Amino acid sequence: MKLFRRLSTSILTVVFSVSLLGASGDHARFADLGHRMMCVCGCNQILLECNHVGCTYSDRMREQLMAATQRESSDDNILQAFVKEYGTTVLAAPTMRGFDKIAWIMPFAVFLGGSLTAVMVIRNWKHRQPALPTLHGTGQALDQYREQARRETSL
Is the pLDDT confidence value at 18 over 90?
A: no
In single-letter form, the type of residue at position 40 comes to V
Report the share of the chain in percent with pLDDT over 70.
78
Residue 7 binned pLDDT confidence (cut-offs 50, 70, 90): very low
Q: How does pLDDT run across 77-132, given as a tens digit for each residue?
A: 888 888 888 888 888 887 777 777 888 889 999 999 999 999 999 999 988 877 76
Q: Is 38 helix (H, G, I), strand (E, B) or coil?
A: strand
In angstroms, what CA-CA distances link 107 with 82, 104, 110?
27, 7, 5
Please enumerate in sequence order all residues whose Cβ is within 8 A of that of 38, keeping only pairs 6 or more positions apart, or say none.
44, 45, 46, 47, 89, 90, 91, 92
